[in-house]
């Protein structure tokens, strides 16, 4: 006769499933052709560093037309300092991003850049960290405001702080007063044609990536998100209807450990009272584990969700969410098995919202609550990105985050 069932046994089994599913990332294998269309576009070339701008033709999804600084010259960052946000020193990252011409920005060596104030980018810029180990950390981080055609690739962005109440330059000809910034890793505000790819992001004062105020034509791909409370916010407020035009593709990302603090586990309460308290506390804090959407259309394809503490995908104000070929591995606690969370609406309202799950792999009790009557296949065509089988997610996301390749060696 087997041992009696216990909640502790269930937790142990759940932890084993999570460990087995995440440790595959340390196996150390890499094949040139992985099925990831972005990586397969350029990583198979051993001389990738001689054709850096080829990357601009490799984007997918709604941000696929972001050319960044493809049509400009290379600019080499040689100085990690950031002493004066109004009069930046030539050779610094801030000096490069405020230029009024297209630039493809690369780095001479490994460096840690601690920004004194927001790094306000000008249009038609690529920040390309391939071949070196670049961290933007410990200070302000990146602001993309009322500009277009931005690519950010291969950067470690973490420990971003709230800054502001200071003068900051945003172009060669303009600087102005900035109030307090939230401390987002990347803040996208009223901008379009944005591609955020192969970055490692964690532990910022507010969100890791926020896209608000009518921003659209955005792809967030191949990133590795960890150790943070509020990962991605898409949409300004429920009342800001300009965000209905927002279109975002979220593809091949790994949403990993520590993305939200564990809620306290109180086993001394009546179970039903505990569930009710937990749900109310979640609503009060208005936290989400991976991302929350307002209005707009969001294509969520072939991502790997290996940890969450509350829920994976939250939304309000009738967003359209098309989830295809993702892997959702529910956490060990008994309260967070549902992938989805509707905020600020009763079932009579949200059951009309188009939230679709197609070919998702739902593990360890995870479940996706679909709603609406939209055709997910037509949504997929709209973002020009066909989902691959969820069984391939491990390979598709194996190299998520900032790559550790060096010039002269394959990535």
Among 283, 271, 289, residue whose Cα is nearest residue 334: 271
Q: What is the pLDDT averaged over residues 77-93?
A: 98
Domains, the chain, in order of start with CATH, read 7-396 (2.160.20.10)
Q: What's the chain's average pLDDT?
A: 82
Q: What is the pLDDT averaged over residues 377-392?
A: 75
- Please report the pLDDT score of residue 275 as a whole number: 35
**How far apart are the C-alpha atoms of 387 and 326, rounded to whole Å?**
9
Task: Give the pLDDT band of residue 244 (cuts 50, 70, 90).
Answer: low
Residue 15: pLDDT above 90? no
Q: What is the pLDDT averaged over residues 320-337?
A: 88
Please write the tens of the pLDDT for every residue from 181-225.
Answer: 999 999 999 999 999 999 999 999 988 999 988 899 999 999 999
Q: Are strands 254-255 and 224-226 parallel, antiparallel or unpaired?
A: parallel
- Please report the pLDDT score of residue 26 as a whole number: 39
Q: What is the pLDDT averaged over residues 249-265?
A: 64
Residue 11: pLDDT above 70? no
Residue 388: pLDDT above 70? yes
Task: Give the pLDDT band of residue 236 (cuts 50, 70, 90).
Answer: low
**Catalytic positions, please?**
262
- Please report the pLDDT score of residue 316 as a whole number: 80
What pTM, to 2 d.p., does this model score? 0.84
Q: Which of the pair, 222 or 378, is modelled with greater confidence?
A: 222
Please write the tens of the pLDDT for every residue from 335-354.
Answer: 778 998 888 888 888 898 99
Q: What is the pLDDT averaged over residues 54-76?
A: 97
């Amino acid at each position: 006769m087997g041992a009696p069932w216990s909640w502790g046994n269930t937790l142990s089994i759940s932890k084993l499933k999570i460990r087995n599913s995440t440790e595959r990332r340390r196996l150390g294998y890499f094949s040139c052709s992985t099925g990831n269309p972005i990586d397969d576009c350029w990583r198979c070339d051993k001389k990738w560093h001689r054709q850096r701008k080829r990357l601009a033709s490799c984007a997918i999804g709604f941000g696929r037309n972001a050319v960044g600084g493809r049509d400009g010259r290379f600019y080499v960052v040689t100085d990690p300092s950031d002493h004066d946000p109004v009069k930046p020193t030539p050779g610094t990252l801030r000096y490069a991003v405020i230029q009024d011409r297209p630039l493809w920005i690369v780095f001479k060596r490994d460096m840690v850049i601690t920004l004194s104030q927001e790094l306000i980018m000008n249009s038609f810029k690529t920040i390309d960290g391939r071949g070196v180990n670049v961290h933007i950390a410990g200070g302000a981080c990146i602001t993309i405001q009322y500009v277009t055609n931005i690519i950010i690739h291969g950067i470690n962005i973490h420990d971003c702080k709230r800054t502001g109440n200071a003068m900051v330059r945003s172009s060669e000809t303009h600087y102005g007063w900035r109030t307090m910034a939230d401390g987002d890793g990347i803040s996208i505000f009223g901008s379009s044609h944005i591609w955020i790819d192969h970055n490692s992001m964690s532990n910022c004062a507010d969100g890791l990536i926020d896209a608000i105020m009518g921003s659209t034509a955005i792809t967030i791909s191949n990133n590795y998100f960890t150790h943070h409370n509020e990962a991605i916010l898409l949409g300004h407020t429920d009342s800001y209807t300009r965000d209905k035009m927002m279109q975002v593709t979220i593809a091949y990302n790994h949403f990993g450990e520590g993305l939200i603090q564990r809620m306290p586990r109180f086993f001394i309460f009546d179970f039903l009272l505990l569930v009710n308290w937990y749900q109310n506390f979640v609503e009060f804090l208005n936290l989400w584990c991976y991302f929350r959407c307002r209005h707009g259309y969001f294509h969520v394809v072939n991502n790997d969700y290996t940890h969450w503490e509350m829920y994976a995908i939250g939304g309000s104000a009738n967003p359209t969410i098309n989830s295809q070929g993702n892997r959702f591995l529910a956490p060990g606690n008994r309260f967070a098995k549902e992938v989805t969370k509707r905020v600020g609406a009763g079932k009579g309202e949200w059951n009309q919202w188009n939230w679709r799950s197609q070919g998702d792999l739902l593990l360890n009790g995870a479940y996706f609550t679909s709603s609406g009557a939209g055709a997910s296949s037509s949504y997929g065509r709209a973002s020009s990105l066909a989902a691959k089988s969820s069984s391939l997610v491990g390979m598709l996301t194996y190299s998520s985050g900032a790559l550790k390749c060096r010039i002269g060696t394959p990535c």
